[in-house]
Amino acid sequence: MTEIKLAKRRDFSGVINAAFQFFKQENKRFITTLLTYTGIPMVIMIAMLVYMAVQLTNGHFGSIVNSPDASSIIGLLIPMFVFILLALIVQIIVMATSYGYLKMYHEKGKDNFMPAEIGQQITRKFFPIIGYSIVISLLITVGLLFFIIPGIYFAIILTLIFPILFIEDKGLSKNFNRCFQVIRNHWWQTFGVLIVASLIVGIAGSVISLPLQFYMQFKLPTLLQAGDWSQVNMSFITISYILLIVVGIYLRSFVYIVTGLQYFSLNETDNSSTIMDRINQIGEETTPPTNNLN
């Protein structure tokens, strides 16, 4: 299959189509890489979810409401904390894997890099992603307080900081500045691309959750009336939730790939250029002109 040129100017539909083309071409290697680095924390996360479901079925959590004690509260909080923490870790790894994969694909070409190289990207960028996410969350929160619109505006712009972190990585302040340079005059296109990508992921997640939604709508009146969880098929609910959470986390990789492709596209517009182009330009600028004495 023909190698996809990532550094290419694309219009709105071109970015989305390129993302589907990328997944079609790289699905086996990409999914294998994702599972390699998220497998262990994902299994532990699922184990915590199953544990809480079993405790709920056995009425253990009900005792917290009726007669709370330290041991029962700790027994609920610890697995819940571990579950949330691992869910965040897995999400960060999925993001790092997505952008790291794009970086290796762009620099070395199709099939010319190993999963271990992606692992190095994950290790190097894991904590920077956390730091950047905290800063971005604070900025967006402040923006949302000012009539919401500034928060949305900054949220779209700063989404590009993560592919910039992986591809360029010039430091926090320069990476932030690059977001504004790259997206200049293309905010609405980027907004539309990210909204469409999120809708695609949301629709896919909704389709997966349909059986669970229908079941809960059917059982919820009985559950509220009787208050007896034993009348609910907890195995079905647990498996459905596990599937929904796991697939939902991995589906986010599509949004990350779209974001990365949008970055590459915008980096080819206006006065922006790829890193290699800028290096070549520097070399050309430093070459002294040749005087023709004749």
**Among the ranges given (8-12, 76-80, 180-184, 233-237), the one the predictor scored with the smallest mean pLDDT:** 233-237
> Do 131 and 79 contact (CB within 8 A), yes or no?
no
What are the structural domain ranges in the chain? 12-276
Average pLDDT, the chain: 82
Q: Is the pLDDT of residue 11 over 70?
A: yes
* 30-59 exposure pattern, b = at least 16 Cβ within 10 A, e = fewer: beebbeebbeebbebbbebbbbbbebbbee
Reported as a single tens digit per residue, the pLDDT across 39-65 is: 999 999 888 888 877 777 666 655 555
> Distance (Å, rounded) from C-alpha 17 to C-alpha 291?
50
Asked if 96 contacts 88 with a C-beta cutoff of 8 angstroms, the reply is: no
- The span from the CA of 269 to the CA of 61, in Å, is 57
Give the C-alpha separation, 230 to 282, whole Å: 71
Fill in the DSSP letter of residue 231. Answer: G
pLDDT value of residue 278? 46
Rounded distance, CA 7 to CA 274, Å?
7
279 pLDDT band (50/70/90 cuts)? very low
